[in-house]
Amino acid sequence: MEKKKVIIDCDPGIDDSLAIILALKSPELEVRGITIVSGNVHGNKGAENALKILKSINRLDVPVYVGKTEPLKRQLVTAEDTHGEDGLGETQYPTVEETRYRTGAVEFILNAIKKEEISIIALGPLTNIATAMQEDNEVFSKVKEIVFMGGAFKSFGNCSPVAEFNFWVDPDAAKYVLNNAKVPLTMVGLDVTREIVLTPNYIEMLKQFNNQLSKLIVDITRFYVNFHWKQEKTLGCVINDPLAVAYLLDNSLCEGKSYYVDVVIEGQAIGMSMVDEGNFLRKKPNCKVLTETDANRFFYKFFNTLFPEFKEDIEIVLSDKRYSY
């Protein structure tokens, strides 16, 4: 089986970290590099976090590059309230000394595209991606596809009544990518990611697994779980970003349709993704918008990929209706 070559552009971030782990544990993927953008935390902190996660799964061989640390036109707003002061749920893991992150994420992305067929999984604000396109859209058009977590169609926002965080932090970048990309785009927005709740039952299962990786997940999600309780009385936490990785691996996990999507870049609705379902704007569809997913199937894939040694336990927990929320 030929592996899909991917670059993960992200802002780790708790759910970004889970997405990185899922990608690196997936035998179908070859992760060429992790590029960092400012979002949940400043890019430099995000890069440190990527290294911490890579170290915890023994994959410091994967290079980390920091890219744009400010949105295209606006001032950066980060989300330490959601992800903790350190961006990893206040776990305060020590800085990785063995290897350091590099700079030049945008150059890295463009050079990688010149060499081979690359798919991009984008899990933060689209600043690095928009900048790569602005620098050389000819080269960028060779990208196989971009699957990005961002935006919302019929679901409400998580930063304002209508805006999703990644689009809200850099609406200009999201707008630029949507209107200028010559490559297939898939929007993994809040309509589908809100379904992906790491429930208290799943967290208990991870506690029972009691190994290094399960402990890491329990640790970094604790703060996120508290945030969800305070914010919306959700038990557990919504883990948005890993769904984008899982969808790239298995398109049957989500359903959707292609529409023209644009982004509001000023005013009260700033950061809102406008999906032209009624074709009022008479524009060609530019993005596949995912609207349905099967959370249970996602979690089968997620847990089985991360913990193949617990396949039977996972089957018992995930197939038992009494344990489903």
Which residues are near ligand BDR by CB under 6 A?
13, 15-16, 40, 79, 82, 123-124, 149, 158, 164-166, 240-241
Residues in binding contact with Ca ion, number by CB under 5 A: 6
Task: Decide whether 163 or 318 has the Cβ nearer to Ca ion.
Answer: 163
CB of residue 41 to Ca ion, shortest distance in Å = 10
Separation in Å, CA 14 to CA 67, 125, 145, 216? 19, 15, 24, 11
Q: Of residues 11, 15, 16, 172, which has the active-site annotation?
A: 11
- The stretch near Ca ion (CB under 5 A) out of 77-85, 180-188, 240-248, 280-288 is 240-248
Task: Decide whether 9 or 314 has the Cβ nearer to Ca ion.
Answer: 9
Q: What is the dihedral of CA 56, 1, 302, 99, to 10 degrees?
A: 20
CB of 107 closer than 8 Å to CB of 114? no
Q: 226: helix, coil or strand?
A: helix
Task: Look up 11 and say whether it is catalytic.
Answer: yes
CB of residue 66 to ligand BDR, shortest distance in Å = 17
User: In DSSP terms, which residues pair with 254 in a beta bridge?
Assistant: 293
- The stretch near Ca ion (CB under 5 A) out of 81-89, 99-107, 124-132, 309-317 is 124-132
CB of residue 186 to ligand BDR, shortest distance in Å = 15
Task: Decide whether 172 or 241 has the Cβ nearer to Ca ion.
Answer: 241
13 contacts Ca ion (rule: CB under 5 A): yes
Q: Choose the one of Ca ion, ligand BDR, none that binds residue 191, judging by a C-beta under 5 to 8 angstroms depending on kind.
A: none
Q: Which residue has the tokens 């800085």?
A: 95
Task: Name residues whose C-beta falls within 8 Å of residue 262's C-beta, 6 or more positions apart in sequence.
Answer: 175, 178, 179, 273, 274, 276, 281
CB of residue 325 to ligand BDR, shortest distance in Å = 20
Residue-by-residue DSSP string for 169-224: H-HHHHHHHHHH--S-EEEE-HHHHTT-EE-HHHHHHHHHH-SHHHHHHHHHHHHH
**What is the distance, to the nearest Å, from the Cα of residue 105 to the centroid of all Cα atoms in its chain?**
17
Catalytic positions, written as ranges:
11
